[in-house]
Amino acid sequence: MVPSLLKAALAGGLVIGLAVELGRPAVARLELHDVARDAADLAEEQLPLDGRRSSQREARAVVESAGAELTGFEVDQRGRVEVRVARRVEPVVLDDLGRVRDWYDVEIDATSNGVPGT
């Protein structure tokens, strides 16, 4: 009876561990979506006041304070800001498995909402 219970506990632990390991990049994507949107909106607000370079610095500060990297910054013809934000999530268990390596490189695009001051 104990060996069956032990097997079930080990299998349950393995399933939970894999779920957590594979869920970390999904959680990072959700976090980065908010960070990218905040950075784009702030940059759009700053654009008419301080110009493109300062606006980009503000966006970079928001992104870096969240532990991510600003990898793209564009201003379209309507004055909306488009940003690309990236973060590498370090795998704990699956670090040697090449097929999932790209899953841990999280990149998100966001465009400002087009309503300065919101």
| Residuewise pLDDT in 10s, the chain (118 residues) | 568 888 888 888 878 877 777 778 888 899 999 999 999 999 999 888 888 898 999 999 999 999 999 999 999 888 899 999 999 887 766 555 656 667 788 899 999 986 554 4
Q: Which amino acid is at 10?
A: L
Question: How far is the C-alpha of 56 from the C-alpha of 42, rounded, in Å?
Answer: 9
Asked if 63 and 42 count as a contact pair (C-beta separation under 8 A), the reply is no
Q: How many CB atoms lie within 10 A of CB 46?
A: 19
Residue 72: name the closest of 41, 40, 42, 102 by CA: 40
What pLDDT is attached to residue 118? Answer: 45
**Tokens at residue 63, please?**
């992104």
DSSP state of 72: E
What pLDDT is attached to residue 117? Answer: 47
Residue keyed to tokens 């998100």: 108
DSSP state of 84: E
Q: At 79, is the secondary structure helix, strand, or coil?
A: coil
What pLDDT is attached to residue 61? Answer: 95
What pLDDT is attached to residue 92? Answer: 66
How far is the first Cα of the chain from the last one, in angstroms, to the nearest whole number? 62
- The per-residue pLDDT for range 87-109, each reduced to its tens digit, is 988 776 655 565 666 778 889 99
